[in-house]
Amino acid sequence: MENGEKNRAIKLGLEDELAKDVARLYSWANVEGAPYRDFSMQRRLQHQQTLQVAAEKKREGPGNANDPENQAVAFDASTVDLPAIEASPPAHSEKAPTGNQIPSFQPEPSAPQEPLAPQVEVLSLPVAAVRARARPKSTELWSSPKSGEVRPVLAIYSLAGGVGRTTLCANLGRVLCSMGERILLVDASGSGLLPFYFGASDLRPGLRTFVAPGVNYSPLRVIGAEEVTGDWLRGDVRSAMLDSSRIIFDLGPASMSVLPEIFGMCTAILIPLLSDLNSILSIPRIEASLNRVQAKGIKIPSPFYVFNQFDAQNTMDQQARDLVVQQCGERLLPLTIHHGAEVAEAIASRMTVADHAPDSVITHDYMELATWLRRVDPARSTVRWSEQ
């Protein structure tokens, strides 16, 4: 008993120190008040403590019924009654890399070079809904008349805070870049935090370029704005899209006014979830918001859901997953992003997990997700050869 309490105290102490480091980083970067949160494992530790207390009280007997600790219960999917969902129609560090590490990015301009493509197992995952989607009527934002390329556009979207949306956007873009794609990350969340995952030391709008030292990856570009508007989307973002093979939008509360326009050019929508009620109860609201866009005559793809910070050995996480399967069916991806301290450590170091811990389980999860995305939403080309 005493050893368990001592171990929990040590874990909480480490998390507190990490949280302070992140707070100092944000204070130094002058981005106080940014909406991104949930940088540590404190939420999960609290859940684990609740389960442990409940188990201990069960062993000790009923005790005092008025004791609040005796009233703590774990997540129980059977007690949650969600409204039915109407399915949408298909519609960086400066250190040089060593060994097998995935090198970190640096904000230095560089000419595109031949990329290296890591070997990743291709998963057999649901693709029918993506293949059946309808293309938007207007294509000028995601295709170039000069090259004939059709550029995949991914929206990472959520109405629940703290689900790891920006972290997912940065790491997925980072891995896709290592697979040979020319990635543009569009920070339409209003937070401006995406550049910090690639070693940036200041907060400023506009188009920024980051390159990985010592390898042949194409530069990864990030574009943001002080205010997300239609003029910015049709001007600066459109121009940057023409030189990219895949575009990933990080969508937050600041992008609500342009959501129909962004969804109208998307070829895929990915929604991260946590195994908590706040995240799960947001699913009907998300589906309703997408249906409202479709009601305006805008054709959009059906969204896919993916669990973030997931622990397959945790009963609460499994119950949450079963509940979402009932609501979303095959639109909930069978793969998950595992929970691990590497995420918070990477953020505190201004790096992606792929750079901070290239051999970690979480990095492998991101590589599997990137492989699935390339399979269901590949970059296509309609360029024809011509006789001279």
pLDDT digits (tens, 9 = 90+) for 60-109: 655 444 444 443 334 455 455 554 554 444 444 333 344 444 555 655 44
Distance, in Å, from the CA atom of 350 to the CA atom of 174, rounded to the nearest integer, reads 13
pLDDT of residue 58: 55
Distance CA 96, CA 103 (A): 7
Q: Pick the most confident of 7-11, 139-143, 254-258, 318-322.
A: 318-322
Phi-psi sector, 99: left (phi>0), alpha (psi -120 to 50), beta: left
- Give me the mean pLDDT over the 340-365 stretch: 93
C-alpha to C-alpha distances, 226 to 192, 193, 229, 257, nearest whole angstrom: 8, 12, 9, 14
The whole model's pTM is what?
A: 0.67
CA distances from 186 to 33, 153, 210, 212, 241 (A): 20, 10, 14, 19, 9
Residue 354 has pLDDT above 70, yes or no: yes
Q: What is the pLDDT of residue 374?
A: 94
pLDDT for 37 beyond 70: no
Residue 339: is its pLDDT beyond 70? Answer: yes
List the end-to-end C-alpha distance of the chain, in Å, as a whole number: 81
Domains of the chain: 2-74 (no CATH), 128-381 (3.40.50.300)
Judged by DSSP in three states, 245 sits in: coil
Q: Considering Cα of 77, then 80, then 84, then 90, what sign does the dihedral take?
A: negative
Could you report the per-residue pLDDT of 162-196, keeping only the tens digit for each? 899 999 999 999 999 999 999 999 999 888 899 99
Checking if the pLDDT of 318 tops 80, the result is yes
What average pLDDT does the segment 367-385 reach?
81
Confidence of residue 274 (pLDDT cuts 50, 70, 90): very high
- Give me the pLDDT at residue 175, please: 95
